[in-house]
């Protein structure tokens, strides 16, 4: 015997746990205990701890003493309810549910009505005076037990029910009569025997043992593992098991079961919101098989129960200081609370609830800032269908998850995943979704289901993922075999495009134009609170005045990366750029550059104006020159075509010249090739042109009163001498332009740190650099030796096998790349303590990476315009996390 | 006035300097002082220190007090010689020579006969009773002064001499009469006036000032800078200036000048060896214009002088404990020593002299080991022309620098450099070489000159560079305009191939077969001494039994890198390899692998036998699979051809299939692509096959009594989980093979550290790795972000501009790559203190990098077979350098 306690009782004034014990009792168990402590009516029961589960998984055996404790708690439960397991007169029925420390909706297995056998079913019938109910419960129990504990396909049972319905010409289960139910019980037991070779267990403790065992094992089933992977939940937590006395929502019209929220989980509006079904068990609501009624209907049907429920939920929200998601059951007019937890909500709701709760004095600003996941901002900023677009409406359904999406129709999760891997946008269309569909939902741009309500699997999961979703859209019907769905007389084949609007619950034919919403009031407020807290500056990566303007509206405090090469690609520019590249000598090259210079200057004029008063980091030309030339294979084709069509000799010669240049400039590994400052050293005239354009534009605007703060950035430095070389070009050129213009511009000259050697020799480089910008995209490529363009061949497998936790191009690799950054930061500051440092890779918009950037001591992050609000929030949260740790 | 002393007198028992003061007096000045101290007859003079030069360069002005000191030393010199500058009766003439702390032969400028003017020339004539001599000296002085001090082209003067010779129908300068010399003096002065606008300076102190100035400035001329760059000499050293009373070798038949060595500088034989010219000044010997006599002729002509010279040189060698290279002048039968220095020598000579001197008790073994540059071993191991080859002998000349070379004829240094950059082997063919040709000599495989002796510029420089060289080959004549040379009636155009044998002094038509010499007795001895000293193990990179055997003969103590992919390229293997690559599924892939396995096993059997008793590090498949497929463009061509020629449909389909595979496997950056352990993780069956082959071969040989020590190496690890994954394949497969064979093999399993992230996380990786091998080739690529295949586009410019000191693929970059290695070593040892570590990049054979590897604490280096002896010596020197520092 060990001293460990594995089982905790709740209810009936004997509660042993509390909300503080989530890790041990799981979310559900802890909340049941907490509710019991608060005096909320909860059916009594006990929780087997996660610790028991972890030990079970580790040793492949139950921890010593666990079953003794369970026996003692069964005694307690029997005393508390006045019923007994297996008692033919007054049988105790229980539910057995999983409950992990972190909520995993629909992921884990549950058994209801445990305690029924051929004898107790009769006792239950007698006791409740409702034979139909007793046999309905028994057949449900056999089916769930068979499914969950023994993995027997539920269709085996569903088909038998359907047969009966067909025979009797009815559509609802509730329309089946008692004898039919009895027949079904017998038939179900036969299925069980046929599939397992044994009789359905009549011994209640054996039922319980098998069920507990199944819940423990469900922790490691495929869909649970997949969910944890997608949601970054540790495999080591384990699940608790809650054994709880059953109460019945399926005991007639004064019974029912429902799910409710203290506020609207889609919008955050403060309104009591929910759904319920009369004469039903909880699973019926969640599964989305019957479409439930609004909770408002309960107010009319059972006003007292409604009042009690409303009071309880208010009390729970006040207690937990967060919006609650509750499950309740009404057994013959008596209300029981089965669960309360912090509600899942849309991003818009999360935002509104957090802001409202500050105004309601429930939480403070800092708490509010921690309530919104940075990634949720992405969802608030989700695209909408352009209101002006004139598309054919196919059907309407529930607005289950906000935002709009456009994509090709697919009917299976696997297909969705395949097509997404080929970079195709898809909409997953299903009758209803199940946990097996998670991967496909993740891959799809949006989800559409025929059945199910706002709390159906599809709706809950899509909201969590921030995907647009329309549910319960029964105006459409799917023919899987033919690969087509029909609506309003139209047939939409797999592969055809549709548009869905998850905020409005509408389905349209064809491709809609999508539009971004404005940043609304609550977001503004939330981000202002974040701004008060954060110390990291947030800049944007922008190459156009439009992006600069957009980012500024989103709160960007400057540009962290302005890529000048993007300016080379304009239609009237690319011929001049090619002329420059193909020049045989410096003179011809300079001629072409002279043509480019006024164009570049115009670009800078517009961007400087858009960022008036904020610093702009301009990166000098970075990509290898061959990127500006056409593709080799295309040129070969073109020549072939010209030759076969008898094209002009002149034209053929021109294309051949181009081909020769493309061939000369071709590189084996362009990522590691002749680019960045290497270009600026071999062809200083290119950088000279760019610097001239920058400084001329700055001088001109400065005399007009615009506050221009240019920061000239030299890319791909691996050696302080490269920096010194190019910096001389910068200072000489700038000096001469400023003299000519008679204006002085305060500009900085700095460098990207995007190669391991740059980080390792940052002390030397910092002597010449006034700022560092960590280019974590390239730094990730070289640190790992991964080509971003090629890593797709093995990265998915790496993540699948757990070799990598996440894609290092999306989430900064703190152990390797981050280590180099720390070396670079320390060495850089050692020789220039006041050096300004930032990050401008994709990671600049990733919350985890922003947190790292803050801890590592950077001054700013820079990210794409749409991620600026995310970065503002994430930067504030980084400060708060640090405060909370100290 | 400062307290600094800038000028040091030597000779006439008033010598102020010594050999210990090389840094201050330069090599020549220090040795002149040392000789004077030893009582050797040296014309008196004084040395202006390098410090004065450095200050002059820094401040662009002469240091305060320098000229006063010079004046005082002129007084001393006048007293010592009894002559006076500008004295019309008894004029003092002096030489002004440069002399840097490190010898830079022919690099620096020299002025002779300074002190002559229109008046003193008559005094000299009277005093020496030799008017011809006086005017010959004057015209020489004007010409050298004009050239060195004012940069006037010597051809301006040479043409005038040639005119006179043509007029008089003579060929030698000595045949011109006195009046002609007088005329030449006047004409030379006119040239001077014409080019400079001033009269030739008549004021002697002005001559001296201008000459000293010119020597100082010559430190920064282009050829001196280039020489320093090629020889890794700091630009900060500066040169000293030696002002020395002239003695005259051109005063008739009892006068002369020569150069001699205490041993044979080509072979190291202990024999008095040298050349001299009668009635000549020193520059005549060095310039190679007249072909000199052997020093043995002096024994007959002036036996007393010869005896005195022989005694002095013996004394000098005993004193310096090294082979001496001396310059002497005989003025009317009186011997003067002008210079002594440690002699430049061929590698073979360096080896023999060092070993002999140990046996002569002049030096000890450690000193001997330090006497040979590791790179010189390369030269001892230089290729020879296969004695069995039957090539047409074109001509013979002096065997100026050993070894043989084959290449295309080029007639200019620039052209040689151009062609070498295109990877063409060239032989530089010149009438004579000058310091301007240095770059071209460096680029050429061998050098051939028409004129000049064993101490000519071409010979000295080629020996220094370890290039084969044939000098004084007057059987050939060059027509630069036509781009052709003729010999024995044959015409050889620029671009045609010849072969030269610098050990025998022979020139052959066409391409000779080259052969490697055996490692001879002295080298064996030297390397055994090195082995006694060194602690680093030396292994080889070898993929074939032949290479393994060769390396073992060279002293390799195992294989540090056996690349298994090289075994995939065999003619009968590549189709099977392609079958494996093109397999659509694992089953087909395994079928192909089963065919490959016996072949791989055979390879290992042979290599294991060749390395019996030594460890062999076998790297599992590393390159991306597309490397085994044909080129994309070639396949397109092939299909075109097949189609136009009506080839079989079957064959067209086959090639099209291949093409599709090539296209699928194509990568943007293959260096950073799907290769190394990434392959082993996506296709574990490939590694399984290889491991099976290794362990089966090991088991079979082990039972036969061969001592097999396999070390299985996993490439391209960036993450400990990759290693763990592949290691499981290794141990599972090995276990199963050993069980099957009933044999146990002690094998190790380790990894390459060739990515920055591997070094940064080496502590975690070392937990699973029993050894590390630093793959510095790839590590250099990723640390710098340089693609080795593409860096040619900017690396030469980088080295030229001083951005890089050397090619980081040849010499390890200690600051960046080395820093990562140190991190890797420290972290690796922190979690596995006894981990074995080595280096297996190209750097494993580079002496400087070996020295770094020793200091960084590696256990072994691994290099190509021919570099094994170099590595043995370099490893010993690393130990001795450390001892000398402590």
- For the question of residue A457 being annotated catalytic, the response is yes
**Predicted local confidence at residue A865, as pLDDT:** 84
pLDDT of residue B799: 85
Is A819–B668 a contact, with Cβ atoms under 8 angstroms apart? no
Please give the Cα distance from B186 to B164 (Å, whole number): 13
Q: What is the pLDDT of residues B325-358, one digit of tens each?
A: 999 999 989 999 998 888 988 788 899 999 999 9
- Mean pLDDT, rounded, for B204-217: 93
Report pLDDT digits (tens) over A854-880.
999 999 999 988 789 999 999 999 999
pLDDT of residue A285: 66
Tell me the nearest-neighbour CA distance from A787 into chain B, angstroms: 5
Least confident interval from A766-775, A852-861, B182-191, B510-519: B510-519
For A420-471, write each residue's pLDDT tens digit.
Answer: 988 899 999 998 887 778 889 989 999 999 877 766 778 877 875 768 999 8
A785·B761 Cβ contact <8 A: no
Asked if A25 contacts A336 with a C-beta cutoff of 8 angstroms, the reply is no
The answer to whether the pTM exceeds 0.90 is: no
Superfamily grouping for domain A256-342: ATP-grasp fold, B domain (3.30.470.20)
Percent of chain B beyond pLDDT 90? 66
Q: Which residue of B has its CA nearest to A666?
A: B790
Return the CATH number of B38-43+73-245, one of 3.30.1370.60, 1.10.8.60, 1.20.80.30, 3.30.420.40: 1.20.80.30
Asked if pLDDT for residue B77 goes beyond 90, the answer is: yes
Q: Is 90 exceeded by the pLDDT of residue A520?
A: no
pLDDT band at A172 (very low <50, low <70, confident <90, very high): confident
**To 10 degrees, what angle do helices B178-196 and B131-150 make?**
20
Architecture, CATH, for domain B382-515: 3-Layer(bba) Sandwich (3.50)
Element holding B839 (H helix, E strand): strand B836-839
- pLDDT of A518 > 50? The answer is no
By C-alpha distance, the chain A residue nearest B759 is A816
The confidence score (pLDDT) of residue B432 equals 82
Between A784-793, B141-150, B812-821, the lowest mean confidence (pLDDT) is in: A784-793
User: A834: which residues sit within 8 A by CB, 6+ positions away?
Assistant: none
Residue B821 pLDDT: 98
- Strand arrangement, sheet containing B490-493: B476-479, B484-487, B490-493
> How many whole angstroms separate alpha carbon A197 and alpha carbon B59?
103
Q: Give the model's confidence band at A823: pLDDT under 50 very low, under 70 low, under 90 confident, else very high.
A: very high
Separation between Cα atoms, residue B578 and residue B630, nearest integer Å: 10
Q: B422 — contact with chain A (CB < 8 Å)? A: no
Which residues make beta-bridge pairs with B616? B559, B710
Please give the Cα distance from A510 to A586 (Å, whole number): 53
Q: What's the confidence (pLDDT) of residue A466?
A: 67
- The H or E element spanning position A818 is helix A817-831
Planar angle of CA A800, A97, A266, nearest 5 degrees: 70
Q: Do A756 and B782 touch (CB under 8 A)?
A: yes
* Averaged confidence pLDDT in chain A: 90
Structure confidence at residue B546 (pLDDT)? 87
User: Which chain A residues in 245-304 lie under 8 Å from chain B, judged by CB atoms?
Assistant: none
Split at pLDDT 50, 70, 90, the class of B105 is low
* Nearest C-alpha in B relative to A760: B816
What band does A836 get if pLDDT is binned at 50, 70 and 90? very high
* Average pLDDT rounded to a whole number, residues B308-331: 94
A646 phi-psi bin (left φ>0, alpha ψ -120 to 50, beta other)? left
Of the candidates B463, B422, B432, B423, the residue with the CA atom closest to the CA atom of residue B446: B463
pLDDT for B517 beyond 70 = no
pLDDT digits 0-9 by tens, B435-465: 778 889 989 999 999 877 766 778 877 875 7
For residue A790, the chain B residues in CB contact (below 8 A) are 667-670, 672-674
Strands B506-509 and B497-501: antiparallel
* pLDDT higher than threshold 70 for residue B2: no
> What distance in Å separates residue B167's CA from the closest CA in chain A?
48
Contacts of A302 (CB under 8 A, 6+ apart): A254, A330, A333
* pLDDT (tens digit per residue) in A562-613: 999 878 877 788 889 999 998 888 899 999 999 999 999 999 999 999 999 9
Q: Give the model's confidence band at A519: pLDDT under 50 very low, under 70 low, under 90 confident, else very high.
A: very low
Instruction: Report, in angstroms and rounded to the nearest whole number, the Rg of chain A calculated over CA atoms.
Output: 33
Residue ranges of the domains in chain B? 38-43+73-245, 256-342, 382-515, 534-629+666-885, 630-665
Higher pLDDT, B423 or B43: B43
Where are the extended beta strands (E) located within A576-683?
615-619
Angle at B326 between CA B324 and CA B327, to 5 degrees: 170
Q: Is A545 exposed, middle or buried (0-12, 13-18, 19+ CB in 10 A)?
A: middle
Locate A438 and state its tokens: 């998670």
- The predicted model gives B71-80 an average pLDDT of 96
pLDDT attached to residue A854:
97
| Cα–Cα dist A800/A787, whole Å | 19
B518 pLDDT above the threshold of 60: no
The C-alpha angle with vertex A501 and arms to A497 and A504, in degrees rounded to 5, equals 150
B410 burial class (0-12, 13-18, 19+ CB within 10 angstroms)? buried
Strands B324-331 and B256-261: antiparallel
Q: In terms of Cα–Cα distance, which of B782, B870, B708, B832 is closest to B377?
A: B870
Residue % of chain B over a pLDDT of 70:
97
Q: What is the pLDDT of residue B38?
A: 94
What tokens were used for B310?
């022989």
Q: Assign residue A716 a region: left if phi > 0, alpha if psi is -120 to 50, beta otherwise?
A: left
Contact B756 A756 (CB under 8 A): yes
pLDDT score of A354 more than 80: yes
Residue A679 C-alpha, separation from nearest chain B C-alpha, in angstroms? 8
CATH superfamily of B534-629+666-885: Phosphoenolpyruvate-binding domains (3.20.20.60)
What does the block give as tokens for A508?
A: 């349209």
Q: How far apart are CA B487 and CA B481, in angstroms?
A: 17
The per-residue pLDDT for range B690-749, each reduced to its tens digit, is 999 999 999 999 999 999 999 999 999 999 999 999 999 999 999 999 999 999 999 999
B293: DSSP letter: E
The CA distance from A843 to A853, in Å, is 9
Quick one: three-class SS letters along A296-340?
HHHHHHCHHHHHHHHHHHHHHHHHHCCCEEEEEEEECCEEEEEEE
Rounded Cα distance, B3 and A866, in Å: 70
Write out chain A residues lying below 8 Å of B669, CB-based.
Answer: 669-672, 787, 789-790
**By the CB < 8 Å criterion, does A822 face chain B?**
no
What are the angstrom distances between the C-alpha of B67 and each of A123, B48, B209? 126, 10, 9
CB pairs under 8 A between A and B: 174
pLDDT band at B142 (very low <50, low <70, confident <90, very high): very high
Q: In what order do the strands lie in the sheet with A110-114?
A: A7-10, A45-48, A240-245, A94-99, A110-114
User: Is there a contact between B340 and B35 (Cβ–Cβ < 8 Å)?
Assistant: yes
pLDDT of residue B41: 95
List CB contacts of A376: < 8 A, sequence separation 6 or more.
Answer: A347, A350, A351, A466
Residue B742 neighbours by CB under 8 Å, 6+ apart: none
- Could you tell me the pLDDT band of residue B839, with boundaries at 50, 70 and 90? very high
Distance CA(A479)–CA(A486), nearest Å, equals 8
DSSP label at B817? I
Residues 6+ apart with CB under 8 A from B350: B268, B371, B372, B373, B376
User: pLDDT at position B366, please?
Assistant: 97
- The torsion angles phi and psi of B536, rounded to 5 degrees, stand at -70, 135
Cβ separation of B783 and A787 shorter than 8 Å?
no
**pLDDT, tens only, B844-882:** 988 999 999 999 999 999 998 878 999 999 999 999 999
pLDDT at position B1 over 50: no
Q: What is the pLDDT of residue B519?
A: 44
CA nearest neighbour of A455 among A290, A328, A287? A287
pLDDT band at A106 (very low <50, low <70, confident <90, very high): low
Regarding an ipTM greater than 0.90, the answer is: no
Nearest to A803 among B670, B716, B725 (CB): B725
Closest CA to B110 of B232, B212, B25, B201: B212
- B667 to chain A, any CB pair closer than 8 A? The answer is yes
User: Per-residue confidence at A658, pLDDT binned at 50, 70, 90?
Assistant: confident
């Amino acid at each position: 015997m060990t001293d460990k306690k594995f089982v905790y009782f709740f209810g009936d004034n004997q509660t042993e746990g509390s909300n503080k014990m989530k890790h041990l009792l799981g979310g559900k168990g802890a909340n049941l205990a907490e509710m019991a402590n608060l005096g909320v009516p909860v059916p009594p029961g006990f929780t087997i701890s996660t610790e028991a589960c972890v030990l079970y998984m580790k040793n492949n055996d139950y921890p010593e003493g666990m079953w003794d404790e369970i026996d003692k708690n069964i005694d307690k439960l029997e005393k508390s309810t006045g019923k007994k397991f297996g008692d033919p007169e007054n049988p105790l029925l229980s539910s057995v549910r999983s409950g992990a420390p972190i909520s995993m909706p629909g992921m884990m297995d549950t058994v209801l009505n445990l305690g029924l056998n051929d004898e107790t079913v009769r006792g239950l019938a007698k006791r409740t005076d409702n034979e139909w109910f007793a046999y309905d419960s028994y057949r449900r129990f056999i089916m769930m037990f068979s499914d969950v504990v023994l993995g027997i396909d539920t269709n085996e049972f569903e088909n038998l029910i359907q047969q009966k319905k067909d025979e009797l010409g009815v559509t609802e289960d509730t329309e089946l009569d008692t004898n039919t139910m009895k027949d079904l019980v017998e038939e179900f037991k036969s299925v069980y025997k046929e599939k397992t070779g044994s009789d359905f267990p009549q011994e209640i403790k054996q039922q319980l043992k098998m069920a507990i065992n199944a819940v423990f094992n469900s922790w490691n089933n495929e869909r649970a593992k997949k969910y944890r992977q997608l949601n970054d939940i540790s495999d080591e937590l384990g699940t608790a098991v809650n054994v709880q006395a059953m109460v019945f929502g399926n005991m007639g019209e004064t019974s029912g079961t429902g799910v409710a929220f203290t506020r609207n989980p889609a919008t955050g509006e403060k309104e009591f919101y929910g759904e319920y079904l009369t004469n039903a068990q909880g699973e019926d609501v969640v599964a989305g098989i019957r479409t439930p009624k609004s909770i408002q209907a309960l107010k009319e049907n059972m006003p007292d129960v409604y009042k009690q429920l409303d009071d309880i939920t208010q009390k729970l929200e006040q207690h937990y200081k967060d919006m609650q998601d509750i499950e309740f059951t009404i057994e013959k007019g008596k209300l029981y609370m089965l669960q309360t937890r912090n509600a899942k909500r849309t991003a818009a709701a999360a935002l509104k609830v957090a802001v409202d709760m500050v105004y309601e004095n429930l939480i403070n600003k800092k708490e509010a800032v921690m309530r919104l996941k940075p990634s949720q901002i992405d969802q608030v900023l989700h695209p909408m269908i352009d209101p002006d677009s004139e598309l054919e409406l196919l059907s309407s359904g529930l607005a289950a998850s906000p935002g709009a999406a456009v994509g090709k129709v697919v009917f299976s999760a696997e297909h969705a995943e395949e097509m997404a891997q080929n970079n195709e946008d898809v909409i997953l269309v299903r009758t209803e979704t199940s946990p097996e569909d998670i991967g496909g939902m993740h891959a799809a741009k949006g989800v559409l289901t025929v059945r199910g309500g706002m709390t159906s699997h599809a709706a809950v999961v899509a909201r969590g993922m921030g995907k647009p979703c329309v549910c319960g859209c029964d105006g459409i019907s799917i023919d899987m075999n033919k690969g087509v769905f029909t609506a309003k007389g139209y047939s939409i084949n797999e592969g055809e495009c549709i548009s869905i609007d998850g905020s409005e619950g509408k389905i349209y034919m064809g491709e809609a134009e999508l539009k971004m919403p404005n940043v609304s009031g609550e977001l503004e407020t939330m981000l202002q609170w974040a701004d008060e807290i954060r110390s990291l500056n947030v800049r944007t990566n922008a190459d156009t005045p439009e992006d600069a303007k957009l980012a500024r509206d989103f709160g960007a405090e400057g540009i962290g990366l302005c890529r000048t090469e993007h300016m080379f690609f304009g239609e009237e520019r690319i011929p001049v750029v090619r002329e420059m590249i193909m020049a045989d000598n410096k003179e011809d090259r300079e001629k072409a550059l002279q043509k480019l210079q006024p164009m570049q200057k115009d670009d800078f004029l517009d961007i400087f104006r858009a960022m008036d008063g904020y610093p702009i980091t301009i990166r000098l030309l970075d990509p290898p020159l061959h990127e500006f030339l056409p593709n080799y294979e295309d040129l070969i084709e073109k020549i072939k075509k010209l030759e076969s069509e008898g094209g002009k000799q002149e034209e053929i010669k021109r294309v051949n010249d181009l081909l020769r240049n493309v061939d000369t400039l071709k590189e084996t590994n362009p990522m590691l090739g002749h680019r960045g400052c290497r270009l600026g050293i071999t062809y200083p005239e290119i950088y000279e042109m760019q610097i001239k354009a920058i400084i001329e534009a700055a001088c001109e605007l400065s005399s007009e009163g615009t506050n221009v703060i240019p920061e000239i950035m030299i890319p791909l430095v691996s050696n302080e001498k490269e920096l010194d070389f190019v910096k001389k070009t910068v200072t000489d050129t700038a000096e001469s332009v400023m003299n000519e213009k008679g204006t002085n511009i305060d500009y900085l000259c700095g460098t990207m740190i995007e190669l391991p050697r740059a980080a390792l020799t940052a002390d030397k480089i910092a002597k010449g650099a006034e700022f560092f910008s960590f280019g974590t995209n390239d730094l990730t490529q070289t640190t790992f030796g991964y080509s971003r363009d090629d890593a797709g061949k093995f990265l998915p497998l790496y993540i699948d096998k757990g070799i990598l936790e996440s894609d290092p191009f999306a989430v900064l690799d703190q152990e390797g790349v981050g280590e180099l950054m720390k070396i670079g930061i320390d060495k850089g500051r050692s020789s220039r303590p006041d050096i300004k440092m930032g990050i401008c890779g994709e990671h600049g918009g990733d919350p985890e990476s922003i947190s790292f950037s803050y801890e590592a001591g950077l001054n700013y992050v820079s990210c794409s315009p749409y991620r600026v609000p995310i970065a503002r929030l994430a930067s504030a949260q980084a400060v708060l996390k640090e405060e909370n740790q100290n």
